[in-house]
Chains A and B, each alone.
Chain A
């Protein structure tokens, strides 16, 4: 079984992600130290909260460069929620420079729309191409979302799945060995667990 590193950068509570990994009997460690995370074969970086603080926390631990190097090493990475935004070039949230692994911007849902922000609850995810991350998961299945910003990758080729909320936004993205989802698979019932299992099977 592959060893999974869960990146702890003080961006929200990791309990639900680690509980799900435990349930799936994954071999995982939780760490904020690059030298420990370097010893893993797969990386999961969850996160809720605010992009600027998250990036500050990553930088102060040397995790920003570590994440870029990990991507270059070709090992599989999975970003969750805020994790799908900080991999982009920048975020509109306090105009924050992000990891710049995937060219693109995290944008805020428009305040002018009649829609409630944060986008909170179960919404349908429609993969736009086949991917091992969504293996055996039917199109249009609902996953649990809580967010005010959404990822907008520059290249259409990076879009893995989309969701409707006033606009059509990217709810899952992929570039080479990096996958990231805006929703919370660890809180999305059996299909969320299936998605996590798919990632562990990579």
Chain B
């Protein structure tokens, strides 16, 4: 049976893991390579490294992080943040990443999804999408870019469908309303996307307790749940969370 995945997201700034609340005010929480190794030991299914380094000159630091991670952990991991060209994609894939996550740049230039999928395969290209509730939109959710700071005219469901059509092999949907609140995922948004798209959907934003993952993986029909502060700050362990999921009847990988 296909297992539901627990994915840990590490926001990396200047080579250090940070964690923010509602896209604002980041605090440093540790070394990304050491943290990745620890989560790997605890049985995490996948990792996402999101480069939030502001300056372009410092992007080399991130590639170094990716190379060091690839030597130590043998599970899939994705890299996102500032991926604007096929060269950016190639660089992180050659550094050892399994997947590349495109977000704002894909909104500005959707063809990067198609080109990336043609060159590296659909399974390599992940659409990251930040969305917030907006009654004016057909699906009830509007897409935001630039780390949630800039609104777009795109409807969340329509954009996700277009991205899948262009070749995205997976969609990570991050709720701006829920992000950093620790009050639970945005279930209706996740469920809408997961039941409408033919590719796996990863829920992101709002996890604070194991119960939140249980809800989004059952009621929300997500294929995977992304967490950050639960393990970075709140002291949860991956094995602990997975054991809670398993006890609730969610199929998860426990070795």
Interface residues of A (CB under 8 A from B): 12-13, 15-16, 19-20, 22-23, 48-49, 116-124, 141-142, 144, 146, 164-165, 184, 186-193
**B221 nearest CB across to chain A (Å):** 11
**B246 nearest CB across to chain A (Å):** 12
Complex contacts, B121 vs chain A, CB 8 Å: 12, 48-49
Complex contacts, A191 vs chain B, CB 8 Å: 255
Q: For the side of the interface on B, what is the size category?
A: 20 to 34
Q: Which of B93, B120, B123, B169 has the most CB of A within 10 A?
A: B123
Complex contacts, B1 vs chain A, CB 8 Å: 123-124, 164
Complex contacts, B75 vs chain A, CB 8 Å: 144, 187-189
How far is A142 from B123 in the complex, measured between Cα atoms in Å? 19
Interface residues of B (CB under 8 A from A): 1-3, 5, 40, 43, 45, 70-71, 74-76, 93-96, 98, 120-123, 169-170, 198-200, 223-224, 253, 255
Complex contacts, B43 vs chain A, CB 8 Å: 189
Q: Which of A19, A124, A142 contacts B96 (CB 8 A)?
A: A19
B70 and A120 contacting across the interface, CB-CB below 8 Å: no
Complex contacts, B2 vs chain A, CB 8 Å: 119, 121-123, 165
Complex contacts, A119 vs chain B, CB 8 Å: 2
A-B contact pairs, 18 of them (CB 8 A): A19-B74, A22-B71, A120-B223, A121-B223, A122-B2, A122-B3, A122-B5, A122-B253, A123-B1, A123-B2, A123-B3, A141-B255, A164-B1, A186-B74, A187-B75, A188-B75, A189-B255, A191-B255
- Chain A contact surface mostly: mixed
Q: Which of A23, A116, A118, A124 contacts B74 (CB 8 A)?
A: A23
**B127 nearest CB across to chain A (Å):** 14
> Given A121-B3, A122-B253, list of 12 further CB < 8 A pairs?
A13-B93, A13-B94, A15-B96, A20-B74, A116-B198, A118-B169, A118-B199, A119-B2, A120-B123, A122-B5, A122-B45, A193-B74
B169 and A15 contacting across the interface, CB-CB below 8 Å: no
User: Which residue of the partner chain B has the closest CB to A144?
Assistant: B76
Q: Which of A116, A165, A188 contacts B199 (CB 8 A)?
A: A116
B123 and A16 contacting across the interface, CB-CB below 8 Å: no
- Chain B contact surface mostly: loop
How far is A165 from B75 in the complex, measured between Cα atoms in Å? 21
Complex contacts, A20 vs chain B, CB 8 Å: 74
Q: Which of B93, B96, B223 contacts A116 (CB 8 A)?
A: B223
How far is A188 from B98 in the complex, measured between Cα atoms in Å? 12
A15 and B70 contacting across the interface, CB-CB below 8 Å: yes
Complex contacts, A116 vs chain B, CB 8 Å: 198-200, 223
**A46 nearest CB across to chain B (Å):** 13
Complex contacts, A23 vs chain B, CB 8 Å: 71, 74
**A179 nearest CB across to chain B (Å):** 19
A189-B40 contact in complex given A120-B169, A122-B2, A122-B45, C-beta closer than 8 Å: yes
How far is A124 from B3 in the complex, measured between Cα atoms in Å? 8
**B190 nearest CB across to chain A (Å):** 15
B198 and A117 contacting across the interface, CB-CB below 8 Å: yes
A188-B223 contact in complex given A121-B200, A123-B1, C-beta closer than 8 Å: no
How far is A19 from B92 in the complex, measured between Cα atoms in Å? 15
B198 and A19 contacting across the interface, CB-CB below 8 Å: no
Q: Which of B40, B74, B120, B200 contacts A120 (CB 8 A)?
A: B200
**B201 nearest CB across to chain A (Å):** 9
User: Which residue of the partner chain B has the closest CB to A111?
Assistant: B198
Complex contacts, A146 vs chain B, CB 8 Å: 123
**A147 nearest CB across to chain B (Å):** 8
Complex contacts, A123 vs chain B, CB 8 Å: 1-3
Complex contacts, B93 vs chain A, CB 8 Å: 13, 15
User: Which residue of the partner chain B has the closest CB to A123?
Assistant: B2
**A5 nearest CB across to chain B (Å):** 21
A189 and B94 contacting across the interface, CB-CB below 8 Å: no
